[in-house]
Amino acid sequence: MKKRSYILVAALVTGLMACDNTESVEKEPVKAETVRDLPADPITGVDATGRPASAGKYTYFSFKNGIVPAADSASNRWDLAFKATTILVNGGTSGPGNAGAVLLDGIFDEISTLPATAPIRQDQGADLAIPTGSGKGWYSYNPANNLIVPIAGKVLIVKTTEGNYAKVEILSYYKGAPATVNTATDEARYYTFRYVLQPDGTSNFQ
């Protein structure tokens, strides 16, 4: 009888130790990923007035699956849509999903969570969650040389259609992300950005 009791106690202790070991396993920190040269309705030529011409189509992007076919634009398979300097979220008036975003002032590597004072927004007609226009959102425009430059210290927090969070920093608007842009030769409307996606449903980016 005593031998049986010892066996039961030993089994119980082993089980408790196994539980403790499982609970003590730390999650791996989320890592930054980089998307390079995502096309955002690239310029195909000039129209009759001499202005840039393009297909006028958005590129749909999912943080989980990458570029999504335009045929799925009416689904919740995408999170953001890019066309020139405009970025839509899949929520509100721009899509059937529950995605949203907010633009923050801060340093990408230093933003560890979504501030309580910066609620996620969805697109409402012309009132976009990610503002467009020079100096109003993520970029500035120099009409003297037609140069579009991401504003330093601007970081997007995006809520995906799956309810997860990503922080995003747009690095370049030109193909190849050149350190010095020559607007006469460098192709515009190609986004390079880095992001950190937290897949556990929290906005903890550490």
Residue 21 CA to residue 19 CA, distance in Å, equals 5
Residue 145 CA to residue 143 CA, distance in Å, equals 5
The DSSP 8-state label assigned to residue 77 in this structure reads S
pLDDT band for position 25 (50/70/90)? low
Can you tell me the mean pLDDT for 154-168?
98
Structural domain includes residue 3: no
Structural domain includes residue 204: no
Is 90:58 a contact under the CB 8 Å cutoff?
no
Structural domain includes residue 127: yes
Tell me: the pLDDT tens digits for 69-110?
999 999 999 999 999 999 999 999 999 999 999 999 999 999
Residue 79 CA to residue 101 CA, distance in Å, equals 10
Stated pTM of the model: 0.85
Structural domain includes residue 122: yes
- Give the range of the structural domain holding residue 156, as residue numbers without chain letter: 28-198
Structural domain includes residue 53: yes
Q: Which of 43-52, 53-62, 163-172 has the lowest mean pLDDT?
A: 43-52
How confident is the prediction for the chain on average, in pLDDT? 90
Total of domains in the chain: 1
pLDDT at 180 over 70: yes
pLDDT band for position 27 (50/70/90)? low
Within 10 angstroms of residue 172's Cβ, the number of other Cβ atoms is 21
* 115 backbone dihedrals φ, ψ, rounded to 5°: -65, 145
Show the DSSP H helices in the chain as ranges: 2-24
pLDDT band for position 202 (50/70/90)? very high
Structural domain includes residue 63: yes
The DSSP 8-state label assigned to residue 79 in this structure reads S
What's the pLDDT score for residue 52?
A: 83
Residue 90 CA to residue 74 CA, distance in Å, equals 9
Structural domain includes residue 5: no
pLDDT at 17 over 80: no
What's the pLDDT score for residue 142?
A: 96
Structural domain includes residue 7: no
pLDDT at 14 over 70: no
pLDDT at 21 over 80: no
